[in-house]
Amino acid sequence: MIARTFCLCASLAWLASSLHAAETRVWMSRKGGLLEAKLGSFEKDSVTLVKPDNQIVTLKAEELCLADRQYLVDLGEAPKSLITGGKADLVEKDYKPDKKSFQELEEKLTFSNPDAGSYTQLETPHFIVASVGRIRPHAVAETAERMWYGMAFEHMGFRKHWGDKRMLILLVGDETAHQGLCEYSISLIEGEEGRGSADESFNAEIYRTRWKRNGTNSLYLPDDLTAARKLQPVALVFNTTGDDEFKQPLSPYVVHVLAGRLLGNYMGYVSDYADQGYFAILTGHKYYKEIGLAGKSETNLLSVESTGQDVISSKSGFRDGSSWAKTLRELVRKGQVEPKLGPMLRWRLDELDPEKLVTIYSFSHYMQSDNQRLSAYSKLIRRIETSNQVPPPAEIAKIFGFDTVEQLETDWTTFIKEGDFK
């Protein structure tokens, strides 16, 4: 991973030994290049890094990922303006993962339930994408690596939090295998595979219904598999039967799912007594990435009504998935939609309508619309990750530099009406 070239407009030189002091760490550039080096110096807008072989790399600080710029600011080496200036980009758009780091494994992946299928495996630096059926894993693997890079770019703790374990993504293009995987998952949850027994509320029939209907499911892997393959404990299962959206990188639905999975993985769980807003933040992020990277939304959310338990309804934004911003802007200008943080954080899936869903999207877009806000957004996500709770509106306003929630709402509304809201 570290061996990849640090593709920067860097000048190479030898420097006096007095610079060789700070601790070695892995730096990431805007283009995704990684470099193991010590901080030599920061002067004006340039950073000098010292590689382990004492070679010197000098680069413009703005060429570093936002997370590394945050590191320099926290270290007291760089002014805060390094992370607050300029427009935020969706860096996943331009990032091209090194395909040489993608390796097709000879061994097939199988599970203890033979009906769950036999999968070809593509290993990338951070994922194993395994597929059965006609879909090849390469496009999803590229999307996953690009989305991973986006998270690492923006969030200082993401890389360390991810660690050295890969996430397993299963592309299941075979009905029998999909159903077999469902049964395998049930057996894991019910404890037949040694993960312990499920709680009393687990209902296998409802689980089967949801599994079949969902485009994506989670599979909690057994400990021996995660240990042997150095995998994260939860795998992502895409039902790829009959779909072509897995053939191209950055397709809307795959972006949506991966954006949510990576952010959710980083934030971790939240306590049920302080989870208000988790849904809005996560859902907004998924749609922001989907629309920003794929140009439109094609994703509907499925809602399972809590009373009937088998009544499933679909939730989506405005019908034209490419004109959400335009439609919401008009509604806000006419006063038909009023962005309010407190109520929005309380919205649940089952009460969503298109206006609410697009308002959620607009807030995520707002939070990531320039580097100053993106830096605050990163701080908000870190706060959720450490506290296991979503801060209340007054705290969110404070994190974004406002004294009151109303001030934040005014700024957000202005962004929708007059800003770069697309």
Least distance in angstroms from the C-beta of 174 to another protein: 29
165 counts as binding another protein under rule CB under 8 A: no
| 231/125 Cα distance (integer angstroms) | 12
Our CB check for another protein shows the closer of 50 and 182 to be: 50
268 counts as binding another protein under rule CB under 8 A: yes
Our CB check for another protein shows the closer of 22 and 312 to be: 22
The residue with tokens 């939240």 is 270
407 counts as binding another protein under rule CB under 8 A: no
In the numeric block, which tokens belong to residue 393? 């509106």
Binding mask 65-104 for another protein (x = CB under 8 A): ---------xxxx---------------------------
The two beta strands, 167-172 and 127-132, are parallel
The two beta strands, 34-43 and 46-50, are antiparallel
26 counts as binding another protein under rule CB under 8 A: no
Helical spans, DSSP H, in 190-322: 204-213, 223-229, 252-267, 278-294
Interacting span for another protein (CB under 8 A) from 98-106, 271-279, 344-352, 367-375 = 271-279
| 282/267 Cα distance (integer angstroms) | 9
43 counts as binding another protein under rule CB under 8 A: no
161 counts as binding another protein under rule CB under 8 A: yes
14 counts as binding another protein under rule CB under 8 A: yes
Q: Is 238 helix (H, G, I), strand (E, B) or coil?
A: strand
Q: Is 300 helix (H, G, I), strand (E, B) or coil?
A: coil
Decide: residue 269, CB within 10 A, 0-12 exposed, 13-18 middle, 19+ buried.
exposed
Exactly one of 90, 198, 234, 304 binds another protein (CB under 8 A); that residue is 198
Q: 309 and 203 in contact (C-beta within 8 Å)?
A: yes
Our CB check for another protein shows the closer of 90 and 394 to be: 394
Interacting span for another protein (CB under 8 A) from 122-130, 302-310, 331-339, 389-397 = 389-397
Exactly one of 242, 273, 319, 334 binds another protein (CB under 8 A); that residue is 273
Our CB check for another protein shows the closer of 53 and 106 to be: 53
| 63/75 Cα distance (integer angstroms) | 18
Other beta carbons within 10 angstroms of residue 274's beta carbon come to 15
- Both ends of the chain: CA-CA distance in Å? 35
| 81/379 Cα distance (integer angstroms) | 16
Interacting span for another protein (CB under 8 A) from 129-137, 247-255, 386-394, 412-420 = 386-394
167 counts as binding another protein under rule CB under 8 A: no
| Binding site residues, another protein, CB under 8 A | 14, 16-18, 20-23, 39, 53-55, 74-77, 160-161, 163, 189, 191, 195-200, 268, 271, 273-274, 382-383, 386-389, 391-392, 394-395, 398
